[in-house]
């Protein structure tokens, strides 16, 4: 088989495999515990998402242990707690409720879902615009807090070990060794973290931080939003002529840096194989993933997957997601490109995960 360039798509599963706290649940644990602690220090916490009040003003409150998780924080507000929480954002409250009931949430998806509900709501034009403006402000608050959280995560990378790739994933090891030798390879990093550089998996010049970089927000701002422009509703939103609906659509975030064009230049330059490493390939990245997967130079898609201690894995789920990025008349192309399940493609997990 002819050797091709490699485009390695790095997703959040890669950071999680190291034991880094980068899930949405981890982020919300941090945010709510931080808000709770500030409400104790200042007798109040207030932002676009929540408000926490000390109902006994002037009382000096001391806790032997402070809550560290979302569940612990919310439990403090039950009963006769001197603190009370109020949600300033129904959108954020729906995120919390989803996390409580399912133990999982996709914040970007929930944003787009709420945006569509407001778009179709049977209310006045002025009220719609007001609701969307408030939603965007709340989403901006989430992004700002996320940026701060990722900076904290970056400070913990030194405490985790590199993955035992040579023992756990032969094919991934070959690709990473190729990067160290300076051969043609690009890491398309969907994460905001510094893991690839800090653990010496890749050189700076070989990494494209497609969604921004928490360590360099001025030159590479965070892109957080939704990217499925093939949704039939999206065209209606765009045709409405109201720019406020487009503020957090990823395509417009891509124009803020040269990263997207770096990807295009790379995939246009020569045949390549796409490696999926820790990326769920969900719909929030559909516009970019479709561009990559259906590109004539994309000769193969190789999936690296996570396996639990009980032996289950997420290979099949990733194939389901990948299929959604191929147009209906290109499913034959998908079957030709996506490689079979390979035990040499299991992403190793650090022992503490």
Rounded Cα–Cα distance for residues 118 and 158 (Å)? 43
- Predicted confidence (pLDDT) per residue in 72-82, tens digit: 999 888 865 67
Domain 5-20+161-221+257-345 has CATH 3.30.1240: no
- Predicted confidence (pLDDT) per residue in 10-30, tens digit: 999 999 999 999 999 999 999
- Predicted confidence (pLDDT) per residue in 234-292, tens digit: 999 999 999 999 999 999 999 999 999 999 999 999 999 999 999 999 999 999 999 99
> What is the per-residue pLDDT for 56?
59
Judged on CB neighbours under 10 Å (0-12, 13-18, 19+), 195 is buried
Q: Which two tokens stand for residue 111?
A: 């944003």
- Predicted confidence (pLDDT) per residue in 218-228, tens digit: 999 999 999 99
Q: Which two tokens stand for residue 219?
A: 């030159």
Total length of the chain: 353
Give the start-to-end residue ranges of the domains of the chain. 5-20+161-221+257-345, 25-155
- Reply yes or no on whether the pLDDT at 42 is more than 90: no
The conformational region for residue 106 under phi > 0 = left, psi -120 to 50 = alpha, else beta, is beta
- Predicted confidence (pLDDT) per residue in 94-121, tens digit: 999 999 998 888 999 999 999 999 999 9
| Crossing angle of the two packed helices 107-120 and 125-156, in degrees rounded to 10 | 180
């Amino acid at each position: 088989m002819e050797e091709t360039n490699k485009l390695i798509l790095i997703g959040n599963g890669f950071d999680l495999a190291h034991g880094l706290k980068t899930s949405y649940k981890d982020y919300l644990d941090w945010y709510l515990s931080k808000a709770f602690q500030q409400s104790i220090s200042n007798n109040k916490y207030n932002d676009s998402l929540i408000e926490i009040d000390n109902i006994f003003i002037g009382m000096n409150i001391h806790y032997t242990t402070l809550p560290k998780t979302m569940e612990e924080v919310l439990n403090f507000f039950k009963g006769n707690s001197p603190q009370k929480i109020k949600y300033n954002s129904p959108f954020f409250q729906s995120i919390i409720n989803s996390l409580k009931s399912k133990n999982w949430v996709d914040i970007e998806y929930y944003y787009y879902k709420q945006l569509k509900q407001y778009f179709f709501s049977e209310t006045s034009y002025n009220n719609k615009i007001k609701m969307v403006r408030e939603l965007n402000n709340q989403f901006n608050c989430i992004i700002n807090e996320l940026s701060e959280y990722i900076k904290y995560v970056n400070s913990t990378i030194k405490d985790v070990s590199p993955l035992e790739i040579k023992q756990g994933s032969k094919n991934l090891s070959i690709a990473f060794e190729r990067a160290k030798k300076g051969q043609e390879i690009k890491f398309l990093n969907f994460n905001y973290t510094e893991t690839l550089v800090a653990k010496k998996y890749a050189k700076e010049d070989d990494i494209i931080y497609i969604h921004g970089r928490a360590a360099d927000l001025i030159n590479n701002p965070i892109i957080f939003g939704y990217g499925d422009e093939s949704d039939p509703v999206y065209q209606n939103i765009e045709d409405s002529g109201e720019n406020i609906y487009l503020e957090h659509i990823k395509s417009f975030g891509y124009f803020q840096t040269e990263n997207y064009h770096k990807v295009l230049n790379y995939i246009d330059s020569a045949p390549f194989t796409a490696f999926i490493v820790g990326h769920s390939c969900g719909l929030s990245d559909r516009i970019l993933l479709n561009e990559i997967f259906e590109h004539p130079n994309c000769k193969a898609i190789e999936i690296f997957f996570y396996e639990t201690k009980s032996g289950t894995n997420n290979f099949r789920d990733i194939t389901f997601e990948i299929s959604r990025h191929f147009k209906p008349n290109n499913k034959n192309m998908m079957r030709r490109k996506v490689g079979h399940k390979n035990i040499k493609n299991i992403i190793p997990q650090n022992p503490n995960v």
